[in-house]
Structure 1
């Protein structure tokens, strides 16, 4: 099976971009040079790779990417900082 990656970039405006790819180094290069003019990062360069995870099944990688995209900024920061114990509490809604 082909290796896949879910990654998070920190953009120059301090926002996060989450993506999935089968070639991480090439995709980071593409973000940096503005290869796709309609991409979220085009006007938010330079970007910095702050997190990535490897997968052997692309469908699981895509599922994880979609999950991260729904997360709050605080929860993404906990993942980036490897504060895994904080993730469950950051998923709870405050009423």
Structure 2
């Protein structure tokens, strides 16, 4: 029924002091938007410079992605960090490659 990709993602700032969780159907473009909005006080990601990708999950059903985003947003910081570390133990900034776009 669904044939698109939906992503729940977690970004952070350079010092990894803030976590931002979002959902998108175009992760590369969304990360570029976060970067371009750096220092934009009207957005959470801009206010805290959250444009470094540290975790993402892919879904084919948008309802499942929305449910997961809501679930993660309700978690404590320590639980979110444990999830991130399960796939990215050193909390490295990830490069996401899609359709020949490279996001650092």
Normalised by the length of structure 2, the TM-score is 0.72
Q: Find the structure with the greater CA-based Rg.
A: 1
Query: What is the CA RMSD across the aligned residues, in angstroms?
Result: 1.8
User: What does 1:45-60 correspond to in 2, within 5 Å?
Assistant: 45=49, 47-60=51-64
Q: Distance in 2 between matches of 1:30 and 1:6?
A: 15
d(CA) in 1 for partners of 2:70 and 2:11? 15
Task: Note the residue ranges of structure 1 that are not aligned, 5 or more in a row.
Answer: 84-95
Q: Deviation digits for residues 38-62 of structure 1, max 9, x if unmatched?
A: 3211121253100000000001000
How far has the Cα of 1:10 moved from its partner? 1.0
- Given that 1:12 and 1:44 are in contact with CA atoms closer than 8 Å, whether structure 2 keeps it comes out as no
- The equivalences for 1:64-83 within 5 A come to 64-82=68-86
Q: Which residue of 1 is the match for residue 6 of structure 2?
A: 4
State the match for 2:18 in structure 1: 15
The runs of at least 4 consecutive aligned structure 1 residues that moved more than 6 Å come to none
For residues 50 and 44 of structure 2, what CA distance do their matches in structure 1 show?
A: 12
Matched, 1:24 2:23: no
Which consecutive unaligned segments of at least 5 residues does structure 2 have?
88-104
